[in-house]
Amino acid sequence: MIAITIDNRNVLAEPQDTILQAASRNGIRIPTLCYHKRLSPIGSCRICMVEVTGMDKPVPACTTPVAEGMTVETRTERVMELRRTVIRMMLINHPMECHVCGASGSCALQDLAYEYGVAAHEFGEIPVNRRVKPYATPLIPYDPNKCVLCLRCVHACQEIKGIDALSIALRGSLAHIQGERSRCISCGECWQVCPVGALTQAVTDPPTRIHQMEAVTTTCGYCGVGCQMELRVMDGKVWGVTAPDDPEGPNNGSLCAKGRFGFDFIGHPDRLTVPLIREGGRFREASWEEALAYAARKLKEICASHGPDAVMGFSSARCTNEENYLFQKFLRAGVGTNNVDHCARL
């Protein structure tokens, strides 16, 4: 550990720490926007600027390494004004419609504008006519006016997924994110890391903002990776899927298109909702009591006339451990046969 001073406090830091990491380690908050703990430092937004004794200009805390004896100030009037200017510049062309924006309440720009008391950009009218091509995936609309060009999306696509479908196009006031449809895998990683409302979801029309919905952490029901995911729930319906920021999970906060967008089947009108019994070549609806009694009686008849080994059960790799355990217990102890298998061999 090395000793440094932050805001007149003597603190210890790891030698490989950045100023941001050292501050965070010691409970000192430096505001950030482009910084994301699952990404390497981007250094694009200039919100985390701090002053270091001996350096002429403020430096970004997220990319500047600590050094023995360094003295850092995080809230001088100079850096506070710098942050205000950065926020004002981000608000140029930003539609001031937070009340109808899906990110409101979880928007880093909104929080910073509030914290630094920036109500408007005060640069006057600056018309911009960006010609933006469709985003990398039809499932995620992109609004260049809300985009703060933090580049989290570009870095996530590159560093977390290794896909490289996103890049920045043009410069200055025309700059925007451009996507390559042929590379994109619609995993939604960019949407997940976007700190503002620039990236949204096209396929659902949720009654409220996704981030304000209850988040139920569960395990994805598709492939065997076992990704940890949060089902976003309101009014008894799943409206979206986010990934918990959990470095211990097998997916480390990442998902694929199936995990992210494969949830509409849950409340689909085609779902079976009542037991069915076939009668004369057609199904009719039945009560649970009747359907269970029917199945149990027929099973008993078959066992009585042909023995328990005339019964077989196909269990399911889609169901839980508890259900698979109970299924084989029913076949083995209830019916009396080892004729139980599932699709592992398929």
Q: Is 300 in the site for other proteins (CB under 8 A)?
A: yes
| Cβ proximity to other proteins, 175 vs 319, nearer residue | 319
Q: How far is the CB of 132 from other proteins (least distance, A)?
A: 20
What CA dihedral angle connects 240, 246, 250 and 253, to 10 degrees?
40
Is residue 322 packed enough to be buried (19+ CB in 10 Å), middle (13-18) or exposed (0-12)?
exposed
Q: Which of 63, 85, 93, 328 binds other proteins (CB under 8 A)?
A: 328
**Of 80-139, which residues contact other proteins (CB under 8 A)?**
137-139
Q: Which of 68, 77, 278, 280 binds other proteins (CB under 8 A)?
A: 278
Q: Is 254 in the site for other proteins (CB under 8 A)?
A: yes
- Decide: helix, strand or coil at residue 197: coil
Q: Which residues contact 28 (CB under 8 A, 6 or more apart)?
A: 6, 7, 9, 11, 74
Identify the CA nearest to 320 among candidates 216, 221, 217.
Answer: 221
Tokens of 222: 């598709």
Q: How far is the CB of 321 from other proteins (least distance, A)?
A: 4
Q: Which of 185, 206, 211, 212 binds other proteins (CB under 8 A)?
A: 185
| Cβ proximity to other proteins, 175 vs 302, nearer residue | 302
Q: Is 272 in the site for other proteins (CB under 8 A)?
A: yes
| Cβ proximity to other proteins, 89 vs 299, nearer residue | 299
Q: Is 39 in the site for other proteins (CB under 8 A)?
A: no
| Cβ proximity to other proteins, 67 vs 203, nearer residue | 203
Q: How far is the CB of 261 from other proteins (least distance, A)?
A: 3
Q: Which of 8, 16, 129, 273 binds other proteins (CB under 8 A)?
A: 273
| DSSP one-letter code for 149 | -
Total length of the chain: 346
Q: Which stretch in 28-36, 144-152, 169-177, 281-289 sits in contact with other proteins by CB under 8 A?
A: 281-289
Q: Is 326 in the site for other proteins (CB under 8 A)?
A: yes
Q: How far is the CB of 345 from other proteins (least distance, A)?
A: 4
Q: How far apart are CA 22 and CA 47, in angstroms?
A: 17
Q: Which stretch in 21-29, 43-51, 88-96, 221-229 sits in contact with other proteins by CB under 8 A?
A: 221-229
Q: Is 208 in the site for other proteins (CB under 8 A)?
A: no
Q: Is 338 in the site for other proteins (CB under 8 A)?
A: yes
Q: How far is the CB of 154 from other proteins (least distance, A)?
A: 15
Q: Is 182 in the site for other proteins (CB under 8 A)?
A: no
| Cβ proximity to other proteins, 126 vs 304, nearer residue | 304
Q: How far apart are CA 156 and CA 149, in angstroms?
A: 13
Q: What distances in angstroms separate CA 313 from CA 292, 308, 334, 335, 339, one per listed residue?
A: 16, 11, 12, 10, 6
Q: How far apart are CA 275 and CA 97, in angstroms?
A: 49
| DSSP one-letter code for 180 | -
Q: How far apart are CA 128 and CA 133, in angstroms?
A: 15
Q: Which of 43, 141, 206, 275 binds other proteins (CB under 8 A)?
A: 275
- φ/ψ bin of 313: left (φ > 0), alpha (ψ from -120 to 50), beta (otherwise): beta
Q: Is 270 in the site for other proteins (CB under 8 A)?
A: yes
Contact 96, 43 (CB under 8 A): no
Strand partners, 71: 5
Q: Is 249 in the site for other proteins (CB under 8 A)?
A: yes
